[in-house]
Each structure stands twice: as C-alpha cells, then as structure tokens.
Amino acid sequence: PPGLEPSFPALIAMAMGSGFLGGIAGNFADVLNVRMQHDAALPPAERRNYRHAVDGMARMAREEGPLSFFRGWLPNSSRAAVMTAGQLATYDTFKRILMDYTPMGDNLTTHFTASFLAGLAAATATSPIDVIKTRVMSSAHHQGILRVVGDAYKADGIGWMFKGWVPSFLRLGP
C-alpha cells in the first residue's frame, strides 16, 4: 500500500547489510576467480597454475592456510555492499521517480530504464573499490589497502579509480 514503502536510507541500509554479508560468504570464490584470471599475466615463475577451482581451493588451504580464503575480505565485502545498494536501492528510487515525474507507467520500458540507471550508479560507485579489491586479491604479497591506493595513485593518477569502469558498466547496465 502507498505510504508503507521503505525510505531511501532504509533501502540503502538493508541493501548494504545484505551485500556486505554476501561478500564475506563468497569471498573465497572471488579470491580464486581473481587469481585464476590474473595468473596468465604473471611471469611463469610466479604463476599458481591452478588446474581448476577445486584444485585452487585445496592448494590455497594447503599452501597458504584457510585464512587465505579471506584475503581482501574487507574491500570485497565493501564492494558487495556498495554494489547491492547501488543496484537495489537506486533501482527502486529511479523507478519511482520515472513513474511519478514522467509519463512512463509501470511497464517494461520503465523497468529497463530504471535498471539501466541503477547499473550506471552501481558501476560508478563500485569502480574504485573494485580496483582495490582486485589488486589486493591478486597480489602475491600482503599489502594494506592504503598502500594499494597509494601505489595506484602514483602509477595512474586519479584515473586509477575508474580502471575497468566500461566492462563493469557493460556487465551491470543491461
């Protein structure tokens, strides 16, 4: 019923909480994914050469200990929180704005437009966090987040924050 819809801050809080917990729960798979994708870019002597995901998980646990599953958990969970909020809360808000302030009704065009705008918001909000997360997870060394940000800024200036934005948007926008 009208008037019982959650406020935007409530939507943000609920989305961020669920996204953060989901990021922690799925962190091991994200570490493994980042490592397997990044492996080919490493010099041959530094490659991990995981044969498949189960081999990668077993070797991570055996060679680095079970805590390796949580490498980069804070940037990963932060990214998941911002991503979920960027998608879910903004989708509802964009849909409501489109229906209230444009001639668009509750139809496929409105849902597509709200989804597209939510993808734009999510890709933009998560881009800096995504860069940090990927660098922390793919690193062979344990580096603090501030060090990763400092190194990224030295190498790429402020543009480091939006490396990979286009592929991220192409995944989220549609």
> Each residue of 130-150: pLDDT tens digit?
888 877 777 766 777 788 888
Q: For the chain, which residues score pLDDT lower than 70?
A: 1-3, 140-141
Widest Cα–Cα separation across the chain: 62
pLDDT value for 79:
85
CA dist., res. 103 & res. 87, Å (int) = 23
pLDDT value for 104:
94
pLDDT value for 1:
54
pLDDT value for 39:
87
**For the chain, what is the HEC assignment?**
CCCCCCCHHHHHHHHHHHHHHHHHHCHHHHHHHHHHHHHHHCCHHHCCCCCCHHHHHHHHHHHHCHHHHHCCHHHHHHHHHHHHHHHHHHHHHHHHHHHHHCCCCCCHHHHHHHHHHHHHHHHHHHHHHHHHHHHHHHCCCCCCHHHHHHHHHHHHHHHHHHCCHHHHHHHHCC
pLDDT value for 3:
65
pLDDT digits (tens, 9 = 90+) for 159-172: 888 888 888 888 87
Q: How far is CA 110 from CA 88, 97, 105, 120, in A?
A: 15, 10, 7, 15
